[in-house]
Amino acid sequence: MASAMVKGGGSRLIKSVSAALGTRFYAKVATGTDIVSAAPNVSLQKARTWDEGIASKFSTTPLKDIFKDKKVVIFGLPGAYTGVCSNKHVPPYKENIDKFKAKGIDSVICVAVNDPYTMNAWAEKLQAKEAIDFYGDFDGSFHKSLDLVTDLSGALLGTRSERYIIYPP
Amino acid sequence: MAPIAVGSVIPDGTLAYLDDDNKPQTVSIHSLAAAKKVIIFGVPGAFTPTCSLKHVPGFIERAEELKGKGVDEIICISVNDPFVMNSWAKTFPENKHVKFLADGAAKYTNALGLELDLSDKGLGVRSKRFALLVEDLKVKVANVESGGEFTISSAEEIIKAL
């Protein structure tokens, strides 16, 4: 069972990261929510190369496979290759991965409304693939299910995800 | 929308890019193409192999040749946001002339009638692979692949028409 708490700010678990994050907000996911129940039938696409896509027949990963019986931290951001995301949001997670593991977290996942090939190329550029599992939510269905979308058309990005973190109790 | 055909006037539309300060900017297609000879080629996706390894490099390598034959602009468009397009463009450091423009919401691609649903590949609605030769806004050559394959949409093919 995957329970989750959402913080738009930070927590003791990730003090160093919280400073980089934005302000609080209210979403469909709140303390005590079970993510898989809140977003049934939703899948994410693991960051991969096109060849890996072909080899896996472009398979997607259902949420329950990501969260089942695991303690997972998932953080979302507006866009691959954008400033704050690349320079301030991802690096602290990569640098502090050992601290997460020491606290019993099985994996740290980064997700954005981008296709999995762009996510893969970006993850490789940030040299973060070993520490963090990157997933794409190419059509925004994961974020729409959890009411974590924001309209960034003004920045020419369209509908994207909020900046957030979800972690288990 | 029916796909754009030879003899038609290309629709106007707004595409995006990042300027030298990495700020998103927009540009109208007509402002780039009016009274000029331009090549517009479309790709299904930044950071995908055929686009990155074959389609774009072909135009980068033959850019001087195309310019020599009177082509004023070589424009690559894709249904991606301008941040991704900008970063993808940087993976081609040898590029001097090809402009990478973003059609983030697929509006222009739809206006051209060249959209392609690649949701089952995790891409969503994208553009078909194509190359257009446009003179003063009129389409002279329209080489459109039926999907993402790479045959008639290459730089080599369009040079034959010049």
Predicted confidence at residue A18, as pLDDT, reads 36
What is the token pair recorded at A162?
């909020």
Q: Are strands A43-46 and A133-136 parallel, antiparallel or unpaired?
A: antiparallel
Is residue A108 less than 8 Å (CB to CB) from chain B? no
Report d(CA A32, CA A16) in Å as an integer. 24
Q: Do the Cβ atoms of B127 and B50 come closer than 8 Å?
A: no
Q: How many A-B residue pairs are in contact by the CB < 8 A criterion?
A: 66
How far is the C-alpha of B138 from the C-alpha of B156, rounded, in Å?
21
Q: How many CA atoms lie within 13 A of B96 on its CB side?
A: 8
Q: Please check whether residue B134 is in contact with residue B30, taking contact to mean a CB–CB distance below 8 angstroms.
A: no
Q: How many residues does chain B have?
A: 162
Active-site residue, B51 included? yes
Q: Which helix (H) or strand (E) holds B89?
A: helix B82-89
Task: Please tell me the distance from the alpha carbon of residue B66 to that of residue B74, in angstroms, as a whole number.
Answer: 9
Q: Tens of pLDDT along B88-123?
A: 999 999 999 999 999 999 999 999 999 999 999 999
pLDDT of chain A, 169 residues: tens digit per residue: 344 445 443 332 332 233 334 444 445 677 767 888 888 889 999 999 999 999 999 999 999 999 888 999 999 999 999 988 888 999 999 999 999 999 999 999 999 999 999 999 999 999 999 999 999 999 999 999 999 999 998 888 999 999 999 988 7
Q: Name A94's Cβ contacts closer than 8 Å, sequence gap at least 6.
A: A126, A127, A128, A131, A132
Length of chain A, in residues:
169
- Taking the C-alpha atoms of residue A64 and residue B117, their distance in angstroms, rounded to an integer, is 27
Residue A78 φ then ψ, to 5°: -60, -40
Q: Which residue of A has its CA nearest to B15?
A: A156
Q: How close is the nearest chain B Cα to the Cα of A139, in Å? A: 6
Q: Which residues of A have a catalytic role annotated?
A: 85
Instruction: Decide if A78 touches B, using CB distance below 8 A.
Output: no
Rounded Cα–Cα distance for residues B13 and A45 (Å): 31
Residues of chain B neighbouring A142 (CB-CB closer than 8 A): none
End-to-end Cα, chain A, rounded Å: 11
CATH architecture for the domain at A3-167? 3-Layer(aba) Sandwich (3.40)
Identify the CA nearest to A35 among candidates A149, A145, A111: A145
Is residue B136 a contact partner of residue B113, using CB atoms and an 8 Å limit? Answer: no
Whether complex ipTM tops 0.90: no
Domains and CATH numbers, chain B: 8-161 (3.40.30.10)
